[in-house]
Amino acid sequence: MPLSPSPPPNAAAAAALPLLLLLVCASSIAAQPLASSQAKALLRVRRLLFYPPALEPLRGAPDPCALPPAPALAVACEGGQVTALSVLGDRDPDAAWRAALPASFSSEALFTTLTRLPALARLSLVGLGAWGPLPGAKLRRLQALQQLNLSSNYFYGAVPDGLARLYSLQSLVLSWNWLNGTVPSLSGLQFLEELDLSHNRLGPAFPDVGRSVARLVLDDNNFTGGIPAGVSSLGLLQYFDVSGNQLQGWIPSSVFALPALRYINLSRNRLAGQLPATTACAEALAFVDVSANLLTGARPPCMRGNSSARTVLVAGNCFADAKQQRASSYCNPGALAAVLPPPQGNGGGGGQGTGKGREIGMVLAIAGSVVGAALLIALAMVVVLRRARRQRPEATILPKSPAATPTNKADGWKAPAKATQKIITPADKRHASQAARVNTLEVPAYRVCTLEELQEATDNFSSSNLIKTSPLAQDYNGQLQDGSRVLVRCLRLKPKYSSQSLVQYMEIISKLRHRHLVSIIGHCIVSDEENPNNASSVYLVSECVTNGSLRSHLTEWRKREMLKWPQRVCAAIGIARGVQFLHNLTAPGFVQNNLNIEHILLDKTLTSKISNFSLPMISTSKNGKILSETPFAVHEDNDIGSAQNAAQGDKEDIYQIGLILLEVITGKPTESQSQLESLKAQLSKALTEDPDRLKDMADPAIHGTFAVDSLSTVAEIALKCTAGDPSDRPSIDDVLWNLQYSMQVQDGWASSESLGLSVKSQV
């Protein structure tokens, strides 16, 4: 999954407009002057948000309630108390956190101050750069809240359970943040009409909401499983968007017939099967988007084409009666029977049977069509298989990629009846690409740990849990009280750093969350016994990635079969995205990240994650020069590479990426500088003189799975990355662009192969 794009320029303003109109009305009935305690609370909010321009009118205002409402600031009062506060800032969130408030910002302090406004019914804090976990206990105290909008900030961690106890809540908007984990049940909020959690990292369970919801926006998250049947009972639902998730299985056809529905977007998921011909669409339905799924068969009559009253988007499926569709093999016809929708009961919206005879007839008709289609598909597959084997006698049938086969039955996946082997098709590419897109930030919110907690987690730092040790650092396996496995790393500190400076530093580290980085989820600072003001060591608590390193997947025979060429390119793209995030996070960026291939880990979806990345402390010298150095007394030499130079640290990272790419291509580590130079010379000659030689140099485990142009693109960028002169090495943006281009070339080749077109043999 790529980095989340920035929100549309006017999205936050549009979301705040209804609240602004209400504030205009409310301000006209504010009779009493504002209580001094309430005015002080508003000024404290301004200070805690680091004096944003939107709150400038509060400075010196004799009565904040008398301020004329504006898009950037509106305050409404009643009975001497603030009842509504709307602030629209200019800090649009970005993936590199450039607009986030300073490290000393505290979300806990902000919401503690807001609890001093007990009559607050409408609260909107949008685009202010606020970050940190949402304090559920503080939010729960705002029992008068009817509307809460915290969109376009950097809030992370879980959606707190306390929100589910704001029983007056009518609108909850938390979009464009970094929230993750399972959404608490909101079914008890009987008045909730709007829920917008879009553009976060929430999941995997689909949220449970009450029946009053009219607007449900969940796009671009990590929700999995099927669309719950309960959605079909939301009789007031008008706007429904779950695009850009990982939803699977059939679509409850009755959802299209919800009487108030006007907009539905199910695109960019893995929804499969056929939509019954009896599927009815609500009369008010004006927009339908089911594109980029795995839907097959014919479209129901109400979705055949566009009209002045209804827009229908269906591209990127396998519909038999529509344009811009994929090959039927892309939608996995072998599993067709597993994703046919079950009976819809009374929710079908039309065409219900009048008796058992009609129901049996429909079942027989569907079964007959499925069997007939399966026979035709089987016959076609036999022909294609025979033709493929004649053209490519070497092994063309490969074990199904684990990345394409979810193993967690709790996620709603059902295994096809007999599908253990298949020909390499665009589906392999799709699953590999999804493995790189899957957001794996399902980790706990960052917190400060106690030494006692870590001692319990590691069995008092038992030697049986010790993974790695050196004079300056030790790594331990651990298990927290909630059962989650973690990695605990003990690091000695350089003596010049005080406990206070280290606390500020750790606040910055707590914000380092990216799906291609191993997340640090907590820390514990241990003070020096002789001088309590100084810290002697720090324990870093990280998520545990247990599927092995990238090198192990390239060298161990059991894992090699998982990592064909598409998956290798996806892993490389993930590394580049992680490095891009580190380089752009601060100025200067986090460089010299020790990108040893052993430090590139793969999770169960084969998503690459960088571990042991650089954690520098940025400071300014007396002469104004920006300094960057680690506070930890740790130094690990890279196996091979150019000299460590802080001024060219980003180019050192590029060099290490080049070494990784060379190993991805050949499947072999480069053990010496002379061996590296020899390999580069052979690759350079093969690229310019002998393409067949390039294919021979590739790892035998990926023969038959790559496009030559895709392989040559990666080889070319690898050679540029390992150039002797750092100034000749490309930027991380150039590296990422070339890798993504290589993946596009691979996608096109895989599509042509699946269609049985005549292409040049890759072996």
Helix 649-666 and helix 708-721: axis angle, to 10°?
140
Are the C-beta atoms of 326 and 296 separated by less than 8 Å?
no
* Domain 36-329 class in CATH: alpha beta
Mean pLDDT, to the nearest integer, of 87-112? 89
Which pLDDT belongs to residue 753?
59
Measured between alpha carbons, how far is 416 from 399 in angstroms, rounded to an integer?
15
* ∠ CA 204-207-211, rounded to 5°: 160
Which pLDDT belongs to residue 131?
94
Measured between alpha carbons, how far is 7 from 16 in angstroms, rounded to an integer?
14
**pTM, 2 dp:** 0.47
Distances in Å between the Cα of 261 and the Cα atoms of 157, 206, 230, 254, 303 are 32, 20, 15, 11, 15
Which pLDDT belongs to residue 289?
93
Which pLDDT belongs to residue 617?
59
SS (H, E, C) 132-197: EECCHHHHHCCCCCCEEECCCCEEEECCCHHHHHCCCCCEEECCCCEEEECCCCECCCCCCCEEEC
The two three-digit tokens of residue 401, written as one number: 């990629």
Which pLDDT belongs to residue 638?
39
* Domain 548-632+647-754 class in CATH: mainly alpha
Which pLDDT belongs to residue 292?
92
- Quickly list H helices, 262-397: 356-391
The better pLDDT of the pair 195, 690 is held by 195
CATH number for domain 443-544, candidates 3.30.200.20, 3.30.470.20, 3.40.50.2000, 3.30.310.50: 3.30.200.20
The better pLDDT of the pair 46, 637 is held by 46
Which pLDDT belongs to residue 529?
65
- Round the average pLDDT of the chain to a whole number and report it: 77
DSSP character at residue 525: E
Q: Where in the chain is the domain with CATH 3.30.200.20?
A: 443-544
Which pLDDT belongs to residue 125?
96
In tens, the pLDDT along 133-151 reads 999 999 999 999 999 999 9
Q: Which segment, 346-355, 472-481, 719-728, is predicted with the most confidence on average? A: 719-728
* Percent over 90 (pLDDT), the chain: 39
SS (H, E, C) 79-129: CCEEEEEEEEEEECCCCCCCCCCCCCCCHHHHHHHHCCCCCCCEEEEEEEC
The pLDDT-based confidence of 521 (bands split at 50, 70, 90) is confident
Whether the pLDDT of residue 648 is over 80: the answer is: no
Q: Which segment, 270-279, 422-431, 468-477, is predicted with the most confidence on average? A: 270-279
Q: Where in the chain is the domain with CATH 1.10.510.10?
A: 548-632+647-754
Q: Which segment, 159-173, 395-409, 454-468, is predicted with the most confidence on average? A: 159-173
The pLDDT-based confidence of 385 (bands split at 50, 70, 90) is very low
Are the C-beta atoms of 253 and 230 separated by less than 8 Å?
no
In tens, the pLDDT along 449-495 reads 888 989 999 999 898 889 888 766 788 999 888 788 899 988 877 76
Q: Is 658 helix (H, G, I), strand (E, B) or coil?
A: helix
In tens, the pLDDT along 126-137 reads 999 999 999 999
The two three-digit tokens of residue 503, written as one number: 């606390």
Whether the pLDDT of residue 397 is over 50: the answer is: no
Phi then psi dihedrals of residue 748, to 5 deg: -65, -40
Q: Which of 251, 302, 249, 297 is nearest to 274 (CA)?
A: 297
DSSP character at residue 722: T
Q: Which range (436-440, 488-492, 629-633) has the least confidence?
A: 436-440
- Quickly list H helices, 704-763: 708-721, 732-754
Mean pLDDT, to the nearest integer, of 344-373? 44
The better pLDDT of the pair 553, 528 is held by 553
The two three-digit tokens of residue 729, written as one number: 């090495």
Which pLDDT belongs to residue 584?
76
Which pLDDT belongs to residue 492?
77
